[in-house]
Amino acid sequence: MSKNPFQQNHETMTMCELFKKFKRFKLFEPSLGVLGFFLVVFFVICCFFYLDYRAVAKGYVIPAQSERFLWLELNGSSSEIKRVEFLEEEGNDCNVFDGDWVWDEGYPLYQSKDCSFLDEGFRCTEYGRPDLFYTKWRWQPRRCNLPRFDGKVMLEKLRNKRLVFVGDSIGRNQWESFLCMLSSAVPNKDSIYEVNGSPITKHKGFLVFMFKDYNCTVEYYRAPFLVLQSRSPAGSPEKIKTTLKLDQMDWDSSRWRNADVLIFNTGHWWNYEKTIRGGCYFQVGTKVKMQMKVEQAYRKSIETVMRWIHNEVNVSKTQVFFRTFAPVHFKGGDWKSGGSCHLETLPGLRTSLVPSQTWGLVKVVGDVLAAYSNTSLSTGLDILNVTQMTALRKDGHSSLYYLGSKSPAPLHRQDCSHWCLPGVPDAWNELLYALFLKHDNSRTFNSSVINNI
């Protein structure tokens, strides 16, 4: 017997009525229903974000099926990978630059308010940054465990020695981080001082800090290109203001040569804006290479640095590190055209914000260093390959909080190049510490790092 079409199930009628009402519904008509709908959606979204932050903050283990957190290992734990200790013999084959950022409640290693060796531009928390998430991430290699940084151990290793950073302002960022990490182990802060009485503010030249109780110095030399920048040759076209002599080292290189530990970095200034657009061209010998591209010039400069190390530095005495380029994270522009990183509070899932030319510079370094891997440099050179790990840290930049006042910078003048301290450069220094101790123990070169650049 057929069903009476007029005798419908009450539930079906209700759904049909709702559907008809929905079809008649005008989305943009002022309505409490519309307002209520959007409030509920907003509330649900906020709940998800809140739960994610709670999960991160409390170190909850995220289930494997949660795709949003596949990149993240909380508390550095993993049931699938058995890690060895990097400083042990079993750790010799571990690539410490292949890993993840993990949440660690034991961080940061120091507080900016307790360190007097920081530029105002790096004191983000003190000058208005409201979140502290960026200070809580630790770098965890996939296959091994790094030694926890111990300032007293490092200072004992540096007793009666010189440790020198050479490079651009990002190198200075790392140097100041290292000063804070070391000074946290020194009760009497008055025993740490700049030997020439110079203040730790932005200026050209160099700064030398003495740790009196250990008779060691931790120094910074500003040389953003590492090679020599000088006036243009006589008779040059008017548009040539200065040149980079790609076959000569910076004037101050004689001051670095006898350091016990030497950390180089360059890359931040190797772009069109900082060179050719500003009238700075490239010179080899007496000739200015008007058609030479930035990447070609960068390659020649790295070759010059390697030759200088090979010929001028006693690598049996001096441990040399080369830190690779630290990416910027400007979104929607650059430093002068409204690029931003403000409101970034968590590490990224991918490196899409990183400019493509960054990877070109990294490849240049890898190619040049590979050519020296079978020379005498192989026992005295280590690579701090921080590019990939740093590419994920869009959350760690100074952004609006670099002016040294309670008022943030304008939104169109954000700093997405330099880093808040404590923060990302501390992780670079933890890697520096681990490689230094490894080298000090075994005097071996981790050549596998070059192959992973």
Active-site positions read 169, 415, 418
Among 114, 219, 133, 222, which residue's Cα sits nearest to residue 176? 219
Say if CB 310 and CB 257 are below 8 A apart.
Answer: no
Q: How far apart are CA 181 and CA 411, in angstroms?
A: 31
Is the CB of residue 261 less than 8 Å from the CB of residue 321?
yes
CA distances from 89 to 32, 94, 289, 431, 440 (A): 69, 10, 49, 17, 13
Which burial class, exposed, middle or buried, applies to 359 when counting CB atoms under 10 A from its CB (0-12, 13-18, 19+)? middle
Query: In this structure, is the dihedral angle defined by the CA atoms of residues 139, 371, 364 and 325, taken in order, positive or negative?
Result: positive
- Sheet containing 280-284, strands listed edge to edge, beginning at the edge strand earlier in sequence: 227-231, 242-249, 280-284, 287-289
- Give the integer Cα–Cα distance in Å for 56 and 39: 26
Query: How big is the CA angle at 8 (ends 7 and 12), to the nearest 5 degrees?
Result: 170
For 211, list phi and psi in degrees, rounded to 5.
-100, 95
7 φ/ψ angles, rounded to the nearest 5 degrees: -100, 80
Strands (E), 68-136: 84-85, 99-103
The answer to whether residues 254 and 262 touch, using CB atoms and an 8 Å cutoff, is no
What is the distance between the alpha carbons of residues 53 and 272, in angstroms, rounded to a whole number?
A: 40
Q: Is the peptide bond before 347 cis (omega within 30 degrees of 0)?
A: no
Cβ–Cβ < 8 Å for 401, 124: yes
Q: Which string of b and e fits 308-336 if b means at least 16 CB within 10 Å? A: bbeeebebeebbbbbbbbbbbbbbeebee
180: which 2 tokens?
A: 């804070």
Measured between alpha carbons, how far is 191 from 194 in angstroms, rounded to an integer?
10
φ and ψ at 396, to 5 degrees?
Answer: -95, 5
